[in-house]
Amino acid sequence: NLDSFLLFSADASTSMGLILYNAPKIDVYNLTWAEKSCTYTEGTNIFSSDYSDFTTSAGNIAITELNKTDKTIKGTFNFIGKNEAMTVTKVFTKGEFFLKYSEQ
C-alpha cells in the first residue's frame, strides 16, 4: 500500500527532495508544513518550502499518473524555496518527476 513517498535526487553539487505523506493518489497536493514539502540544496545552501518561521511557500506537488501494477509514479511540482535566514529565494516552476517505486 503506497501511502507516502520521499523522492530524492542528487548530483555532485545539487540535490532535490520532495516529501508527500499520507497521500499518493492522483491529485494535486498543496504544500503544508513538514507533510508535503520540497527542498533544494546547492552546495551548503538549503532552499526549503518549509520556512523557519513555520510557514510554507505557495506551491504544490501533483501526482498525474500512478501505476500500481508497474509501480511507477509521475507528476509535477512547483514552489518558492527560501534559505534558512529567509534572505534568498529560488523559484521552481514546471518541475517534473517520473520514477519506479518500491514499497516498504
- pLDDT tens track for 2-54: 678 788 899 999 999 999 988 778 999 999 998 999 999 999 999 999 999 99
**DSSP letters for 23-78:** --SSEEEE-BTTTEEEEEEETTEEEESB-TTS-B-SEEEEEEEEETTTTEEEEEEE
Please answer whether residues 56 and 37 qualify as being in contact, where contact means their C-beta atoms are separated by less than 8 angstroms.
yes
pTM for the predicted model, two decimal places: 0.89
Q: Give the chain's radius of gyration (CA, Å).
A: 14
